[in-house]
C-alpha cells in the first residue's frame, strides 16, 4: 500500500511483524544484560514512544522510564540545530541508563543529549535504537542495541513522521 503524506509518497519498507520480532529480541538481550538491576529507560520523544512501549512490554525485570524531547528536523532535513523542550526529571546519579531512540542518523541529537546526561553522573549509559543509518552518522555515537541498520533514506511510520504525519502507521515506509 502506497501512502501519501503532504507532498510525498511512501512505500512499505519494514513490516510490523519484523519490527516486533526485533524489539522482542532487543528486550530479551537487555533483560539478560540488566538481570538483578533496575535501569532507567529514557525515551526520546516523540518518535521513540512506540518503540519504548513495545520494548518495555517485553522487558523482564524492574525498571523506571522517563522521557525527554528534542527537535532537530523540519520536513525531511535536519535543521542542524537541536532544541530541547522536555528535560530530565529524575535523579540519574549512579544509575544504569538505557536511552531509547527511534532512529540514529547523524547522531547530533544524541551527542547533545549525552553531554547533558553525563552531567548527572550515571553509573552506565547504553543506547538502544530501533533504526540506525550508519552511512549518515557524523558523531561518535555507539549504539549498543540496534533493531535494523538501514540506508540513508527518509522513512515514516511506527512513530517516525514527516512534518507531523505518519507516526500512526504500524509498518515503516520509505519515500518513493
Q: What amino acid positions are annotated as catalytic residues?
A: 105
d(CA 176, CA 3): 10
Cell of 140: 561518535
Four-residue CA torsion sign, 118, 120, 121, 127: negative
Consecutive H or E run containing 102: strand 96-104
What DSSP string describes 16-47? HHHHHHHHHHHHHHHHHHTTT---EEEEEETT
d(CA 57, CA 152): 29
Amino acid at each position: 500500500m502506497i501512502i501519501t503524506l503532504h507532498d510525498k509518497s511512501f512505500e512499505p519498507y519494514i513490516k510490523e511483524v519484523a519490527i516486533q520480532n526485533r524489539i522482542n529480541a532487543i528486550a530479551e538481550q537487555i533483560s539478560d544484560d540488566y538481570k538483578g538491576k533496575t535501569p532507567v529507560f529514557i525515551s526520546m520523544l516523540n518518535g521513540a514512544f512506540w518503540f519504548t512501549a513495545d520494548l518495555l512490554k517485553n522487558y523482564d525485570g524492574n525498571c523506571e522510564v522517563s522521557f525527554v524531547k528534542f527537535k532537530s528536523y523540519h520536513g525531511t532535513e535536519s535543521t542542524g540545530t537541536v532544541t530541547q523542550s522536555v528535560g530530565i526529571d529524575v535523579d540519574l546519579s549512579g544509575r544504569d541508563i538505557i536511552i531509547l531512540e527511534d532512529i540514529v542518523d547523524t547522531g547530533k541529537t544524541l551527542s547533545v543529549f549525552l553531554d547533558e546526561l553525563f552531567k548527572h553522573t550515571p553509573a552506565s549509559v547504553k543506547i538502544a535504537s530501533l533504526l540506525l543509518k550508519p552511512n549518515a552518522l557524523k558523531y561518535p555515537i555507539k549504539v549498543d542495541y540496534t533493531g535494523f541498520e538501514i540506508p540513508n533514506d527518509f522513512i515514516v511510520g511506527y512513530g517516525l513522521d514527516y512534518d507531523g504525519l505518519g507516526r500512526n502507521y504500524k509498518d515503516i515506509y520509505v519515500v518513493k
